[in-house]
Structure 1
Amino acid sequence: MSPAPDERDRIRAAMDRILAGVPEHSNGALTIVGLAQEVQVPRNALTQRHLDLKNDSYDKVRARGAIPDSEKRLRRQVTKLKELRAADAKELAALRADVEALVGALHQAQMENRQLRQQLAVPDSKVRSLPTQLRPRVPGSRSS
């Protein structure tokens, strides 16, 4: 589908209306979607056919000292992602510390177990082996 002959003029006029704060067909958002709604054309008319006018729109918004709504949204998302990444890094550091502590505890238990087994092997040792407890049998289970 080819663009209407006056499409570029309508885009420029819609840009001026939005920047003046008097949109006729949109909510006045400083976005390409808002501009497309104001011009009453599909968004891809600005993102594919009239890329120069899309860039010009963003330049005009920035020149007025305003930040386009899409950029604001992206900045909020970046901030949120940085916060999530920091929280994940903190949790990961805690988990790594836990792993180190658990490995140390396991190593200590293995050493103590080895020492007790060595003492148990010595005749007349004061270490005695306790009888192992059998797990209670659950009715209907197949364990032996």
Structure 2
Amino acid sequence: MSPTPDERDRIRAAMERILGGTPERSNGALTIVALSIEAGVPRNALTQRHTDLKNEFYDKVRARGGTPDSEQRLHKQVRRLKELRAADAEEIAQLKADVEALAGALQQATMENSHLRQQLADRHAVIRALPTQAPLGR
């Protein structure tokens, strides 16, 4: 799709309306999507053909002391992902500790089983049964 001759003018006018707080077609968000809707142009017009206007829009948003909505969403997502990563690292550390404890218990049980098998093989050894525990809840 080729650009219309007045495309840049429509984008600049839309920029002024959004930054002035008087959008006519969009929700007025400080995003490229809202700007493209406001200007009546496809989004790729700003991301591919008129990147200078896209950058100008974001520069004006920053100059006003604001952060574009898309950037705010990304910062929020980065914070959430960092929190998830920290939680995952904590869980991994706990799982590693559990694996070590279970490996130790398995080794202990294997050694005890081996020892009991040796005693069983030796007919002269005295093996006595240990009392069993009653199941919990009785």
Count how many residue pairs are aligned between Structure 1 and Structure 2. 129
Instruction: Give the share of equivalent positions with the same residue, in percent.
Output: 72
Aligned to 1:113: 113
The higher relative CO (CA closer than 8 Å, separation ≥ 6) is in: 2
Deviation at 1:121, TM superposition (A): 2.5
Structure 1 runs of 4+ aligned residues shifted over 3 Å read none
Deviation at 1:128, TM superposition (A): 5.8
Aligned to 2:61: 61
Distance in 1 of aligned mates of 2:76 and 2:52: 27
Aligned to 1:4: 4
Stretches of structure 1 lacking an aligned partner (at least 5 in a row): 130-144
Say if 1:120 and 1:128, in contact at 8 Å, map to a contact too. no
Amino acid at match of 2:15: M
**Secondary structure at the counterpart of residue 34 of structure 2:** helix
Aligned to 2:44: 44
Say if 1:18 and 1:35, in contact at 8 Å, map to a contact too. yes
Distance in 2 of aligned mates of 1:91 and 1:60: 44
Amino acid at match of 1:69: D
Distance in 1 of aligned mates of 2:123 and 2:69: 83
**Secondary structure at the counterpart of residue 30 of structure 1:** coil
Amino acid at match of 1:53: L
**Secondary structure at the counterpart of residue 25 of structure 2:** coil
Deviation at 1:120, TM superposition (A): 2.1
Q: What TM-score results when the alignment is normalised by the length of structure 2?
A: 0.88
